[in-house]
Chain A
Amino acid sequence: MLTTRPYFSTLMLGLLLMLTACANSPTSLYQQLGGNAGISQITDHFLVNLSQDKRIVHHFAHTDIAIFRQRLIEHLCVVSGGNCEYKGASMFDAHIGLHISQADFDAVVGHLIDALKQQHVPIATRNALLAKLAPMYEDITYH
């Protein structure tokens, strides 16, 4: 008993360390998206895709793209669990009076998926991000 206990304790400590490592190392969604650099690149792909879509580009006619880009990056960072501060308005407030329709929202989702693919984000990471963004439909559309 006396001789096995240290081994047992070492094993438990080892397991504990492994579990902690597991909890931290396969990384947050933020890290899976490539951190700030990855999210910035995803945002840029996304903005290019939006700008090329005649169906929805009119919504951005009066948008300061540089500020919009920065807010998007911050927002994706916060949503994915990154340590950032989002300095923009709430999703609801940010879309008041813009009359975003379901067709607009669907198109934007399509462009985001394309942007994530262009950045070679794996499907599981893409879906995890979509899981967080999809419920924002209610706050963004029709007001």
Chain B
Amino acid sequence: MSDESRTPVALAGLRADDPHLEPSARNPHVVEAVIAGLMVVGTLCTAGFGAAFWVNAKPWILGATLGGGLLFLGLGLIAWGKYLMPRGPFVEERHPLANDAAEREGLASVLVDRGASVIKRRPLLGGLLGGGMGIFGIVALFPLLRSLGPLPKGTLFHTDWRKGSYLVDQTGRRIHEGDLAVGSIVTVFPEGTENTDRGQAVDQTVLIRLSNENYVTQKGRATWGPKGYVAYSKLCTHLGCPVGLYEQQLQLLVCPCHQSMFNVTDGALPTFGPAPRPLPQLPLYIDAEGYLRAQADYDQPVGPGFWERGRS
């Protein structure tokens, strides 16, 4: 192969016998046979896809025939282009995109002399138009945004737990003081919310039995854990995933999303991971019939942090 045929030439005006128009394959007939083989296999696969679709074959058969058909036809086409088409290399001139100074000045003069000067001559109209458009833009933004959703107001600060709410499990069954053995855990909801989106997303609470005696997790929570039952919000204070893993021996609640861990004996203080705050604890009591009920709502917002959350 001479060096000359490797020099890039322009495409236009090439003689039909120019070496640049030769295929790059050394044995075009062999390559042609291989490509023909690829295309035959591709066509067979494609036909197979049609048949497989007709008889409603298993998905993997559909995919294998469709994929095989596309892949083999594609390989054949690529090989055709690469080995049997004019090998070149061809060259194309690249002209500077920039125009000369006169053209540039021409455009600038249209913009400035014809355009800007017209507006400058009528400052009042220009100002009014600009002001009107500006106000329209701002005003249009309000309904556009505001109609998308309600204002947050206090919704992030409260759950549906009330004084006297019965603790029920996912099926709506009330939890009785004899239901849980020490070391057991169950997800509970305030009665009536167990099947609602909000109940599952906001009110979800884990109930753990730590002992048979009243359990005090922190100062000022003397009555919150009757007969060893303690309840914490199930919403991780990091990003709001359900804190669904309970490591019984270490007495840790673990969030599977980012591995925050909370010590349930200690007011659910975070001991590991990115969660910044303890899980809020739900104050419980056991009524005369032995059912577990809430003394009140959580004393702070549950879940992840937000701007208005305040100190606590």
Query: Real complex partners, A and B?
Result: no
Binding site for A on B (CB under 8 A): none
